[in-house]
Amino acid sequence: MSKSVFIYELPLRTTPHDERMLNIRFNCARMLYNACLGEGIRRLDLMRERTLWQKARKSTNKKERKELFGLLQKEAGLSDYGLQAFAIRTKNNSSIADHLDAHSTQKVATRAFKAISQYMFGKRGRPRSEILPVYA
């Protein structure tokens, strides 16, 4: 049974000041996403350099393999919460703190982690950094 979905878009009535603030916040979120993506890929690369990674890949025992990969992820800090902690530290140590709240910061980090985990499990290609869109 399929559900019908209806989407109705309403234009925002914004002032030039509102648009400027939204652009600043979107740009800060983009920079934070790129930082989280870079850190996550760095942690994944460090994980893959370990000899334990090679041992886990060659293992035929599913339980042992899962445990080894889990241990590697834990040691590298490659988890949703690990990237959220990185994002919060990064935000608080930069001027982004003035423009993003903690909830938005966590959501940005979670989005980056999901992209990295899909890459890690071979479901998608290597994630790319987002570029700033050009508005006409």
Tell me, yes or no, whether 3 lies in a domain.
no
Tell me, yes or no, whether 50 lies in a domain.
yes
How many domains does the chain divide into? 1
| Interval 113-136: pLDDT, tens | 999 999 998 899 999 887 766 554
Domain span holding position 92: 20-120
Residues contacting 12, CB < 8 A, separation 6+: 18
| Interval 6-37: pLDDT, tens | 889 999 899 999 999 999 999 999 999 999 99
Tell me, yes or no, whether 71 lies in a domain.
yes
pTM above 0.75, yes or no: yes
Please check whether residue 24 is in contact with residue 31, taking contact to mean a CB–CB distance below 8 angstroms. no
| Interval 39-68: pLDDT, tens | 999 999 999 999 999 999 898 999 999 999
Tell me, yes or no, whether 131 lies in a domain.
no
Tell me, yes or no, whether 106 lies in a domain.
yes
Residues contacting 115, CB < 8 A, separation 6+: 37, 124, 127
Tell me, yes or no, whether 64 lies in a domain.
yes
Tell me, yes or no, whether 14 lies in a domain.
no
* CA count, 13 A, side-chain hemisphere, 40: 31
Tell me, yes or no, whether 29 lies in a domain.
yes
Which tokens sit at 94? 């930069």
